[in-house]
Amino acid sequence: MRYLSTRGQAPPRDFEGVLLAGLAEDGGLFVPEAWPELSAGEWRALRGLPYAELAARLIHRFTGNTLSLEALRAMAEGAYGGFGHPAVAPLVQLDHRRFVLELFHGPTLAFKDMALQLLGRLFDQVLERRGERITIVGATSGDTGSAAIEACRDRAAVDIVILHPLGRTSEVQRRQMTTVLSPNVRNIAIEGDFDTCQDLVKAMFNDAPFRAEMRLAAVNSINWARIAAQIPYYAAAALALGAPDRPVAFSVPTGNFGNVLAAWAVRRMGLPVARLIVGSNRNDILARFLAANDMSARPVEPSLSPSMDIQVSSNFERLLFELLGRDGAATAAAMRRFRAEGRMPVPDAAWREATALFRGFTLDDEGTLAEIRRLWERAGYLADPHTAIGTAAARALAPEDPAIPVVAAATAHPAKFPEAVERATGRRPPLPPRLADLYEREERFEVLPPDLGRIETAVRSHARRNRAA
């Protein structure tokens, strides 16, 4: 299995090389040279497997010879063995055809744990064999940071620096990052929004001397391994509901497009996915694109669903590459224009192809509160704001065929957003016992302006201190 850059100028890599590189040298994102496809019989044979076994078997399709199935099985069992639900990613039925896929039973109560708990173990395996050390830099709109820190804290061969937008995460999200005092962890609050943080991370990767000096690696969904590790939970849900002999639809609240891209990948691998619904808040660039081919960036506006407060959806580049017939030059040109002008020209034929499968949905804060209240009153289900956008989208844009079940991704535990949930329902969801003292823990972070030189200096000093130790 080899991987290509979406912009066509970086040399191909194997899975191990993609894991450590994150972003390609030409600024593109890595994608499989050829997508693995499973027959209907092969999919049926995966029904009923424990989640860790299913994950190992599917991810092995992307690792080629770099990792054995046995090694992946051991890592998956370690990654998911401590989750708070024995099913790891359980399905909960809301009505006759709608379900939620709960992805928040990991250590930081968000769907990012599903991939990052495995990613931390992948880094350990590869770095130990190579005798190397890396510096991870990442940007977070709320959940990636805490999940990445939890996966990488105290690991001997990894230093990690996470950038988050100052004042634009929930208090629980911030504290889950800033109360981890492990010496290999550093948190930086950036005076700006998530897109500013993401741009700084990409700039560090595009600074070739700095990238080589620090041996930079990525945990954001620009890293292909993140997407690969998210594919199994969509497969698990589809198989549980009758696939490959019954089509399913997925509704995914998303800002950076990585989570819904994993659902698209399941379809690309042979499962019958009838529709993919993209849920957005007021930062609705993806919904505008799907409705009217309007991929134009606007200022980011804070909302009750901060993990989706994004206007530059970096993982859309992977889908764009496929829509443009895997033309790296055309993809690179579109991305350059988007950066220069704030608007991406997508050919009408490519846009129509996207809208044949994807639908976009937008919900403002008041609508989000109303959906949280509706779920509680009608189904006794307590949802966080992101999940509520997904369930509202699932109701509004379900396929016309009533026999097709619709699965909404429940991406965060309601206790991560207690103010919004209490405002909607009158109930304040408590944190699980393992996090009950979160508000009393010491915090450690620094505030910096969005200055690349100062950020690189901070990363360099952190990594050098740990390497000297």
Tally of CB atoms within 10 A around 197: 27
DSSP 3-state of 279 = strand
How high is the pLDDT of residue 392? 98
3-state secondary structure of 432: coil
CA dihedral 174, 304, 309, 104 (to 10 degrees): 60
Q: Which residues pair with 162 in a beta bridge?
A: 138, 187
Instruction: List helix spans (H) across 131-182.
Output: 143-152, 171-178
Q: Chain centroid to CA 202: how far?
A: 16
For residue 184, the Cα-to-chain-centroid distance in whole angstroms is: 23
**To 10 degrees, what angle do helices 258-268 and 316-323 make?**
40
Residue 464: what pLDDT?
78
Q: Where are the domains of the chain?
A: 91-109+225-425
pLDDT at 465: 73
Calculate ∠ Cα 15-17-23, nearest 5°.
100
In contact, 293 and 348? CB cutoff 8 Å: yes
Q: What is the pLDDT of residue 466?
A: 66
> Catalytic positions, please?
112
CATH number of this structure's domain 91-109+225-425: 3.40.50.1100
pTM over 0.75: yes
Cβ atoms of residues 247 and 357 within 8 Å = no
What is the DSSP secondary-structure string of 186-248?
Answer: EEEEESS-HHHHHHHHHHHHH-HHHHHHHTEEE-STTSHHHHHHHHHHHHHHHHHTTTTSS-E
Report the pLDDT value the prediction gives residue 219, as an integer from 0 to 100: 85
pLDDT at res. 131: 93
Q: What is the pLDDT of residue 468?
A: 59
Residues with pLDDT less than 70, the chain: 466, 468-469
